[in-house]
A and B are shown apart, each in its own frame.
Chain A
Amino acid sequence: KQEVTQIPAALSVPEGENLVLNCSFTDSAIYNLQWFRQDPGKGLTSLLLIQSSQREQTSGRLNASLDKSSGRSTLYIAASQPGDSATYLCAVSGGTDSNYQLIWGAGTKLIIKP
């Protein structure tokens, strides 16, 4: 059964720092991995989607990498800003469980201090 873990559960850094959020999964037979952002009281916003054949995806100051063989993904945020404060969740799809269900990590709560 696929399990997704995100470490750390919470992270607080000063504005301007570069930072890395981690996501690991137990079953490497995934179709893709997605990173989402959730603001308090809001739904989730998709940030980046990496297909299983890809190694990384970039969008603005965000870069997500995927290493299927080791079951790991990282989300790199460059030059962090207070507006980046949110909870970041990763989710994997596919594998032996289902071809449409997403399996989710519990998230990393990020606080960027001005």
Chain B
Amino acid sequence: GAGVSQSPSNKVTEKGKDVELRCDPISGHTALYWYRQSLGQGLEFLIYFQGNSAPDKSGLPSDRFSAERTGGSVSTLTIQRTQQEDSAVYLCASSPKGGWRSPLHFGNGTRLTVT
């Protein structure tokens, strides 16, 4: 079956521009996570969506970052006024239920480069 799909796979943008990253989770998965992976670093939690509950945005690094999930399916991560330190791989993952028992399924990520 189809896995988690992320687009674009690569994005190069100029400093100060806005970018949108898209994640299509596995159909039926209620939980969706966004992580950021910088070179040589562990994954950094950004945001968590679970069903119709209010998302946990506690990992978003600044108010330039926002995310939404429409209809409990597709999610978009938006970064406004991009900075060079935003350059990283942005990974999306979904799971059937959320919580610590439920395995995560990752997309291939979007590599963002801010010049």
Contacts and interface: CB of A to CB of B under 8 A. Distances in A.
A3 to B, nearest CB: 9
B42 A43 contact: no
A102 B48 contact: no
Interface size class of B (residues with CB under 8 A): 20 to 34
A68 B98 CA distance: 23
A101 interface: yes
Interface stretch (B14-22, B67-75, B76-84, B102-110): B102-110
A4 B42 contact: yes
4 closest A-B pairs by beta carbon, nearest first, are: A43-B106, A104-B42, A93-B100, A31-B100
Interface of A: 4, 9, 31-32, 41-46, 49, 89, 91, 93-94, 99-107
Interface of B: 4, 6, 9, 31, 40-45, 48, 50, 56, 59, 91, 93, 98-101, 103-109, 111
